[in-house]
Structure 1
Amino acid sequence: MKAAVIGLGVEGKKALNSLLKYGWEVYATDLNVNINLDNLPISLSSVDISPQNDKISFVKDNLSIDLGFNNQEKIDSCDAVVLSPSIWGSKIAEHYKNSGKLLCDVKTKHRDIFTIGVTGTNGKTTTVSMIKEILENAGKNVLVGGNAGGGFEGYYDLILEADKQDYDFLLVEVCDMTVGFCNHCFDFDLIALTNMGNDHMDVHGSMEGYKNSLKEFFADKIIFINNNQEYKEEFRELSRLAIEYSKTDYDLDLFGKFNKLNAGLSEAITNFISENTFEIDEKIIKNTLKNFKPVEGRLEVLKLNDCEIYIGKSDNSDAIKAILEEVDFAAVFIGTPRHNENHRLDILNEVVNANPEAIILFPGLEDTLDQAKFRLHALDYQGRIEIANNLDEIIGFVAEFSHNPSILIGGNGQENIIKIQDRLKEICDSFNHKENRLLFED
């Protein structure tokens, strides 16, 4: 079968790779010529390239890409169309939605699976992973994915995979910017809201705008909301059923009150399933949550010398604030956001309010170090400001502060934070092994 991928943003690229993986012929297009082709299965040395003015075409095997223009004839000849969620609501999206040619309307087996959507600003990936482990430990076959920013292959991979195998449950991490898209693509039996925070305001415009998009998403659905959630009554009024949750009482192998809430949400959802769909032994829920380990890239605590190193993605001001409220840090390392994401620099406002001895900036999603330094000076931060341009320099600063009680490494740039995590784990394991060997010899 042939598919057209319109828009080569993060989700578009993920969809392209998924389609090729499942044996589709793909035509991909983007009006922007300056597309980063990393993570696509092409090498410029092994494809036919046809540049013409501000247009570029690539052809290799069962993949063809046009940049700078759309070939409508090629799109129309395809069996299915894949749209980037970022253009949902546009005229072109309405056209293909009404045509019935969207991939989610061509391949529909995913809509027959019991589907749980988890949305919100923070905690989505952890909550989805907790629910997945509980259901799998109860013997169910679970398909998980969704928001590419959560580290998954993307929404379209779920649709394609569901068409190939039988699953008992489908868990979808729903980015707060894509709720309209997901509402069309998936048939949600349950929807969970982790929280609402200060992120993606460039898209929502305001918290009021964010709330309104969620209200459309929640309409006539069974929803799970925090018992302290703002707009709780508005969400309750338009839902079919609103179930409140709070922090779990179970002891967790995770840091933070926010993870207690993630676990409480997972507990509430699986209890609901146990009461209404199939019985899950309470011991399975309890043991799964008590033994749950941090998701890669999310907050975990490492120990080096006298120091506890808190490290994990915390890419908006609400996420970082939740951590800073629980621990005093001698030094805070912050990965910087993209150039067009000034709202994410609000992270630095929270860090300055916590007033650590030092703030170390490193390139997270992009090198916006100068913007971050400017923000710190504008906030009149009086502490020490350092720049770590690469992994070795970051490790050097960690070593310097490793005799303090605690330091935090967070901010933007999940991939870079995972690299730092991995390096620090190697160092901590080596150091602790050496220390234990010396203790044994003594």
Structure 2
Amino acid sequence: MRAAVIGLGVEGKKAFESLLRNNWDVYASDLSTKLNLENMNLPVADINLLSKEKRLSFIIENAMIDLGFTNPEEIDNCDAVAISPSMFGTELANKYQKQGKLLCDVLTKHREIFTIGITGTNGKTTTVTMIHKILEKAGYNVLIGGNGGGGFEGYYDLILEAEKGDYDVMLIEVCDMTLNFCNYCFDFDIVGLTNIGNDHMNVHKSIENYKNTVKNFFKGKEVFISKYQDFKDELESSARETNYFKETEYPLQLFGNFNKLDAGLASAISKKLGIDEPIIKDTLENFQPVEGRLKVLHLNDCDIFIGKSDNSSAIHSILEEKDFHAIFIGTPRVNEEDRLDILNEVVNHNPEVIVLFPGLEDTIDYAKMRLQSLNYNGRIEIANNLDEIVAFVAEFSFEDAIFIGGNGQDAIIQIQIRLEEIIESINKSF
């Protein structure tokens, strides 16, 4: 079998790798030639590179990649097409949808599995992981994945894996930018909404548009919504059945009311599935933070709160519950100016120190300009690398609390790992 992957963003790269792992031949293309292919595990020694003006072609044993152009004949000769979720609804995607060549229409076993989708702005990965652990403890065989940005292998990996296994439940993290794509590709039996917040406004343009996309996604489905959620009446009117959840009453090993809400959603869905209360309680009370998400470390006199929090809604939820002497913020990509709204929340919190570090990209100059426009009068520091970040953490480690977050999950995970190593080393020396 041969598949075409059109678009090599996060999901496209993951689709390419998943198809190769499942022994498909693959043709992939992207109109940009400025893509980082390092994480695609291409066997460099076996690559035959063809270059013509601003076009590049990579040819390996069972795959071909075109950058700067797309070859329609190659796509037409494929058995299935995996489009980037952002392309869903375009003329090109509609063409292959009408032909029945989209991968989710060629392989269909995933639509036979009982499917739970978790979407929203913040808390998706934590909620999905909580439900996964509960269901596995209850004896279910669970296929878990979805949004590549959440650390999973991607939507197409779910479709491919479903063909091979005998699963009771498929559990999907649904990115708010891929709602229409997922609505077509998967048959959701239950959908949980963590929250609707201020993120990806470069795509949604407004909260109103985002809400309307969620409303359309809810049509005909059984949904779970927070009792505090804005637009409750509108969202409920679109759904087939609506269930409301609130914060869990179980003691958690996680910080923050927002995590209690995520646990409340996980608990509500699990109870709907008939999972015994003791299993839910034990799982949630012993649940540990997901890698890269908010956790608390202790160094000298200081509580270090660290975790990805890449939008102003996430930062607001954290800062309203705790005072921080210093706040470290990873910067967003160049085209994500709306994520600089994080700094508005930070300045409102008015810490003594703000430390900026490269998160997804080195946009520190943009961040400094935003701080200047907000008339922040505290101390501003720049940490250009991991060593400099650690040095600032050491300087502030005798304060009550500091926060490290913002954009750049990989960078934040590296900081977590380094700090945990330092803390473990100190503890061993006593």
TM-score bracket relative to the smaller structure: over 0.9
Corresponding residue of 1:304? 299
SS of the equivalent of 2:52 reads coil
Looking at structure 1, the residues matched to 41 and 391 of structure 2 have their Cα atoms a distance apart, in angstroms, of 36
Q: Within 2, Cα distance between the matches of 1:206 and 1:294?
A: 31
- Shift of residue 46 of structure 1? 3.4
Query: What is the rounded CA distance, in whole Å, between the counterparts of 2:184 and 2:36 in structure 1?
Result: 29
The separation in 2 between residues aligned to 1:141 and 1:74, in whole angstroms, is: 38
Structure 2 distance, partners of 1:37, 1:398, is 33
Q: Which runs of 5+ in 1 are unaligned?
A: 275-279, 436-442
Matches within 5 A, 1:274-285: 274=274, 280-285=275-280
Q: CA deviation at 1:263?
A: 0.3
Q: Structure 1 stretch 33-42 or stretch 67-76: which is displaced more?
A: 33-42
The aligned counterpart of 1:177 is 177
Letter in structure 2 aligned against 1:334: I
Q: Secondary structure at the match of 1:292?
A: coil
Amino acid in the other structure paired with 1:312: G
SS class of match (1:319): helix
Contact 2:46 2:61 in 1 (8 A): no
Match of 1:439 in 2: none
Which letter does structure 2 place at the counterpart of 1:258? F
Distance 1:322 1:34 in 2: 36
Question: Over residues 157-191 of structure 1, what are the superposed CA-to-partner deviations in whole Å (9 max), with x where a residue is unaligned?
Answer: 01111111111110000000000000011000000
Q: Which residue of 1 aligns with 2:324?
A: 329
Q: CA deviation at 1:111?
A: 0.7
* Alignment of 1:223 onto 2:218: no
* 1:213 to 2:199 alignment: no
Q: How high is the sequence identity, in percent, across the aligned residues?
A: 63
The whole-number CA distance in structure 1 between the counterparts of 2:162 and 2:425 is 42
Structure 1 stretches of at least 4 aligned residues deviating more than 4 Å after TM superposition: none
- Write the deviation string for residues 310-366 of structure 1: whole angstroms up to 9, x where unpaired: 000000001011110111000000000000000000000000000101000000000
What's the counterpart of residue 317 of structure 1? 312
Contact 2:6 2:28 survives alignment (8 Å): yes
Distance in 1, Cα, partners of 2:121 & 2:303 = 26
Match of 1:270 in 2: 270
Structure 2 match to 1:277: none
1:104-158 C-alpha deviation (Å, 9 max, x unpaired): 1111111111100000000000000000000000011111110011001100001
**How many angstroms apart in 2 are the aligned matches of 1:250 and 1:231?**
27
Pairwise CA RMSD of aligned residues? 0.8
Superimposed CA distance per residue, residues 290-322 of structure 1 (whole angstroms, 9 cap, x where no aligned partner): 000000000000000000000000000010111
Where do 1:34-433 residues align within 5 Å? 34-42=34-42, 44-274=44-274, 280-433=275-428
Give the secondary-structure state (helix, strand or coil) at the position aligned to 1:50. Answer: strand
> Structure 2 counterpart of 1:401, which letter?
F
| Structure 2: runs of 5+ lacking an equivalent | none
Name the SS for the 1:337 alignment partner.
coil
Per-residue CA deviations over 1:201-232 (Å, capped at 9, x if unaligned) read 11011011001111110001000000111110
Q: Aligned-pair distance for 1:41? A: 2.8
SS in 2 for 1:82: strand
1-structure distance, mates of 2:406, 2:61: 40
Matches within 5 A, 1:9-24: 9-24=9-24
How far apart are the structure 2 equivalents of 1:406 and 1:206? 34
Q: How many residues align?
A: 430
Query: 1:30: which partner in 2?
Result: 30
Distance 1:44 1:24 in 2: 19
**SS, match of residue 273 in structure 2:** helix
